Structure 1
């Protein structure tokens, strides 16, 4: 992978922030967009802006072809069996809420169990938490090992014959932990439970094969993988989606409407009520083209190299604590840390003054912060456009931050 050529395709990186060249290390929150994606979205609005599936005119046909073409690109990207299994949503959060509100509501009853982990993003925790409260079900947590990983032994102990749904992140947005979803799916299915995968932090960085994982549902967002904001994907096995009810009603998702009853369109359109996120979906399709042209294996290998380098350099800083697994093979492209006696927001503020963008806070994972026994952390997250020079700037910025607060206080 030619990193210089890759970086040239991201115009936002060619700027100064607070008098310093920008170092963007917040891709776990949202990634930057290559020029090809920006141009594709702009072209839709400039040349064939129209609604989809409704008109027979030329612009409507072009828009529909591009929109449904994007669905096929998503299908191939995650190796789904059919485009009927690909539903466009507003993002991972909307996808997970749809799964919990429709499938979960129909399959969870009083006394049933829903199994998640302490590392879940709020988007994959609150929908199940609220469903359990509403249904009188039990919400169970798989324990974490000291390094923030899951052991299959603990998974086997937690999932029982009363478990109906297991909902887990493919990659933790805080710890960077890569979870053994394929093995966990086997355990879940052996108890006749269904598995839901939050792939928001996984799909942008590694190959995802839903058939190999044998997951029942999977969700991810465009904006974390070089695509536009406001659009995401819900994958579900066809036989499960066919038996699910939509949770949003209106135009486009209907087949026939009578005064006192209605019927729904076939998959996947029964879940896409109203005018869909057309430009976003088309932009996501172009983002997939961009990523696959580079190669997901190449992207993952490069990110491992960058993350390993960051881990090594940051580990040399006295008083800095790094959270998550130390094994490079178990960690995705981010490093979450704290500096002793310095609040993460102060760390982020000083780094921003040096032109370095990181994330600070609870990262929408407050139960995990409680498990770590901290109120917040700082997080540097990497993507295919980051370099070792970016890491060197980060390290120098952290050292400067530490020295500043040591001298002040």
Structure 2
């Protein structure tokens, strides 16, 4: 077994530096101690990102002017645009800043579905509603067949062949998620793209990378897709922003834009330069982290090293959570606790877990965790954000647990102790 299959933790000294760069990691805004394990719903915020938003957005200057501060804002936007390319390793194409990543997904799917010939569209059952509903809407509106790849209840993901088998010469677009926001399972995007294009070389492919981007490296040079989105608020940044990239051919498809703008321009209205400033601070941070693991290199090399270190640290945390330690059993060995979709190969998983506690309804479990200073989230079949995915796995619901690389072993152990306390308390109550 490779020594990184179970991950590699940051040093204690580096972890303390990391925690110091984020808001509210150990204490909430009221100064109360807590474990925030709901980063899949919105991650810890970088202090530098929040500061950049306030500093840049406070300026009244319009970047579409010629005076000094307007030119400064143009530089902020240009630097942030290049940093989007740094994150994705993207060459050419267009960067699109929108209010939300969900809105951008609808825009990208619409442009492709409406203007690329074909009689069917392909997606998966595990998609976020923003991509699944966009595909459903335009398939129905355009009279195209929507083909949906099933999930794999063992891995928690979707098998490559189950996607590729739905693609043919008449497929106009494939929309696929990078990683499940319930199971944490990573889809093999590189192999999906390779095999899909073997079936149809000019196939348009759109990827939802919102959940995966903070946890693993994205490389559009090895996975050449036509559209991809990220959400800064789940990537150490701020709410109110969605960032997307479109390939050169996708960017010039007809779309909503001002008539006087270039064919590949996607932003509508005046730019919000703070969106780009926040992206730059995210990349600055990841590059700073990467500088602890590689000597020199360009910005992309430092960024790649930083993201890989995050991936390895989080994998070690996931291993600890599942297998525990000599004092506290992991979730896999804990009485009255179920780990759903527990695939053994941790290299194919991001740091997200779906669990259940016997004798305890999932929303009630979330409340019990909060009473003990731990924030998690329930995913239940009555939610529009969860039902389709849970149904595909044969689950009625789950407690979603999503720490971040800012956490350490002590945080995981505290979570395990809390879980054991809750599970024992309700097992005892049921027995009584």
TM over 0.5: yes
Offset, 1:14? 4.2
2: CA distance between counterparts of 1:279 and 1:16?
Answer: 25
With 217-226 and 369-378 compared, the bigger mean Cα shift is at: 369-378
User: 2:22 matched to 1:4?
Assistant: no
User: Is 2:110 aligned against 1:101?
Assistant: yes
Cα shift readout 1:133-178 (whole Å, capped 9, x = no counterpart): 1112111122222312333332332222232211111111111111
SS of residue paired to 2:233 = coil
The answer to whether residue 392 in structure 2 is matched with residue 358 in structure 1 is no
Q: Cα gap change, 1:239/1:161 in structure 2, threshold over 3 Å: closer, same or farther?
A: closer
Other structure's SS at 1:134 match: helix
Mapped contact 1:333–1:382 kept (Cα < 8 A): yes
Deviation at 1:361, TM superposition (A): 2.3
1:63 has 2:106 as partner: no
Q: 1:161 aligns with which of 161, 169, 172?
A: 169
Aligned to 2:299: none
Residue among 146, 160, 167 paired with 1:152: 160
Q: 1:389 corresponds to which residue?
A: 410
Superposition pairs for residues 203-352 of structure 1, below 5 Å? 203-242=213-252, 244-247=253-256, 249=257, 254=258, 263-266=259-262, 268=264, 270-294=265-289, 295-312=306-323, 313-324=330-341, 325-352=343-370
Partner of 2:400: 379
Report how far residue 403 of structure 1 moved: 2.8
Partners of 1:76 and 1:380 lie apart in 2 by: 29
Separation in structure 1 between the aligned mates of residue 399 and residue 184 of structure 2, nearest angstrom: 13
Change beyond 3 A, Cα 1:267–1:314? farther
Counterpart of 1:180?
188
Following TM superposition, by how much is the alpha carbon of 1:267 offset from its aligned partner in structure 2, in angstroms?
A: 5.6
Report if aligned partners of 1:23, 1:390 keep a CA contact under 8 Å in 2: yes
Where 2:221 maps in the other structure, the secondary structure is helix
CA distance in 1, matches of 2:85, 2:363: 40
TM-score of the pair, normalised by structure 1:
0.89
Q: Distance in 1 between matches of 2:338 and 2:57?
A: 47
Runs of 5+ consecutive residues of structure 1 not aligned to the other structure: 255-262
Gaps of 5+ in 2: 1-9, 290-305, 324-329
* Matches of 1:65 and 1:157, distance apart in 2: 46
- Segment of structure 1 superposing worse, 332-341 or 158-167: 158-167
Q: 1 CA distance for matches of 2:28 and 2:162?
A: 48
- The CA deviation at 1:319 is 2.8
Q: Does 1:91 align with 2:86?
A: no
- Contact in 2 for aligned 1:163/1:191 (Cα 8 Å): no
CA offsets per residue over residues 371-406 of structure 1, 9 Å max, x none?
222332111112110112221222222222223333
Q: Say if 1:71 and 1:86, in contact at 8 Å, map to a contact too.
A: yes
1-structure distance, mates of 2:209, 2:70: 32
1:88 to 1:321, Cα distance in 2 relative to 1, 3 A = same
Q: Name the CA distance, whole Å, in 2 between partners of 1:277 and 1:336.
A: 37
- What's the RMSD between the two structures over aligned residues? 2.0
**C-alpha distance in structure 2 between counterparts of 1:122 and 1:64, whole Å:** 34
Kept after mapping to 2: 8 A contact 1:144/1:150: yes
1:401 maps to which residue? 422
The answer to whether 1:116 aligns with 2:123 is: yes
1:28 match: secondary structure = helix
If the length of structure 2 is used for normalisation, what is the TM-score? 0.85
The number of residues matched between the two structures is 389
Q: 3-state SS of the aligned residue for 2:234?
A: coil
2:178, 2:212 within 8 Å by CA — same for their partners in 1? yes
| Residue of structure 1 aligned with 2:178, choices 170, 194, 200 | 170
